[in-house]
Amino acid sequence: MNIDRHNYEEYFLLYIDNELSVDQKKQVELFVQENPDLEEELVMLKQSRLIPDDSIVFDRKHSADERRRWTAFKFFHQFE
Amino acid sequence: MYRFIVKNLRHEEDARDVVQSAFEKMWRNREGIDAEKSKSYLFTVAYHQMIDHLRKIKRIQLKEEFKEETRVVHRPMHNAKKILEEALSRLSETQRSLVMLKDYEGYSYEEIGKITGLNESQVKVYLHRARVQLKNYLVKPENVI
């Protein structure tokens, strides 16, 4: 891996996607230290990552109809 | 998995149906599924059902109560989160799914490829394009917080 000012974006993206080895990550971090004008780009890429929304949960208690379907499904498959 | 599906379908009941039928399919085929791969099997099935569903219905409707709930829970992050949600909604179905599989589930390019039926380099290229698009949307002057 040879990161420079022409190909850094690819490495930033791989860094964000967690597809680099520990050594490669260190190289990206070192590169950013040596090129502080590019730090903001990495920061913005980090900020564009999605944060899992833990308030969204699968809730089977929504309707009596769904509960009936689920119970029927479990009942049916216990004899398989 | 429900989070991934509901974010794409934007319809809670349909998302629950997709999740349930993915589990049903896994249960029916349980003899042939390696336990260690059961999670990615579920994602693969659910992903394809979701795509079929999107193509059939093309429903773009965000439930009001859901939006409300999100706003209350994450009030301090509301603006940043909202801008990112907007940016996400501008991506193609495929790009959005790739970003979610990566960020929500932490799958590798290779695993995402198996789930979506794309090859590893397609996953990388599409995902990188999506990332740049999201970043460019965030840095637009009107979106800077």
Answer yes or no: is A73 within a domain: no
Which chain B residue has its CA at the smallest distance from A19's CA?
Answer: B108
DSSP chain A: ----TTTHHHHHHHHHTT-S-HHHHHHHHHHHHH-GGGHHHHHHHHHTSPPP-TT----TTS-HHHHHHHHHHHHHHTT-
> Is A31:A8 a contact under the CB 8 Å cutoff?
yes
Q: Which of A53, A62, A69 sits opposite B70 (nearest CB)?
A: A53
Number of folded domains that form chain A: 1
pLDDT digits (tens, 9 = 90+) for B108-138: 999 999 999 999 999 999 999 999 999 998 8
Answer yes or no: is A33 within a domain: yes
pLDDT digits (tens, 9 = 90+) for B28-59: 888 888 888 888 888 899 988 888 888 877 64
> Is B11:B32 a contact under the CB 8 Å cutoff?
no
The predicted model gives A53-62 an average pLDDT of 70
Q: Which residues of B make CB contacts under 8 Å with A?
A: 1-3, 6-7, 12-13, 16, 19-20, 24, 27, 69-70, 73-74, 80-81, 84, 87-88, 99-100, 102-104, 106, 108-109, 124, 127-128, 131-132, 134-135, 137-139
Answer yes or no: is B68 within a domain: no
- ipTM for the predicted complex: 0.71
Answer yes or no: is A70 within a domain: no
Boundary of a domain, candidates B61, B82, B106: B61
How far B19 CA lies from chain A's nearest CA (Å)?
9
CA distance B19 to B42: 8
Domain interval for residue B54:
1-61
Answer yes or no: is B67 within a domain: no
Q: What is the pTM of this model?
A: 0.71
